[in-house]
Amino acid sequence: MSLTQEQKQEIINKYQIHETDTGSSPVQIALLTERINRLTEHLKNNRKDFASRRGLMKLIGKRKGLLDYLKRENPQQYQQLIQQLNIRG
């Protein structure tokens, strides 16, 4: 259910701004999105797993805060990122 180190590094490499970037907003949002997608799949099979559901809600809230920050600071990068990640229909 969790991301392996290789999967995490692959996501970081795809969304990093510069070579040593591991924690910028786009990278954090991409990692959270991947975790949210995996947890959503888990909850489709395990409907009564309320502890995981609570964790999912916390992750969604954290991602929303980062998206709001990115939208405020860099609207162009925000638009590009939500299209790449296919979020917010």
3-class DSSP state of 12? helix
56 in Cβ contact with 43 (< 8 Å): yes
Task: Band the pLDDT of 89: cuts 50, 70, 90.
Answer: very low
Structure tokens at 72: 């405020």
Q: How many CB atoms lie within 10 A of CB 63?
A: 20
Each residue's pLDDT tens digit, 16-65: 999 999 899 999 999 999 999 999 999 999 999 999 999 999 999 999 99
Which CATH architecture fits 5-13+21-85? Orthogonal Bundle (1.10)
Conformation bin of residue 88: beta by default, left when phi > 0, alpha when psi is -120 to 50: left
What residue spans define the domains of the chain? 5-13+21-85
Q: Give this prediction's pTM.
A: 0.93
What's the confidence (pLDDT) of residue 40? 96
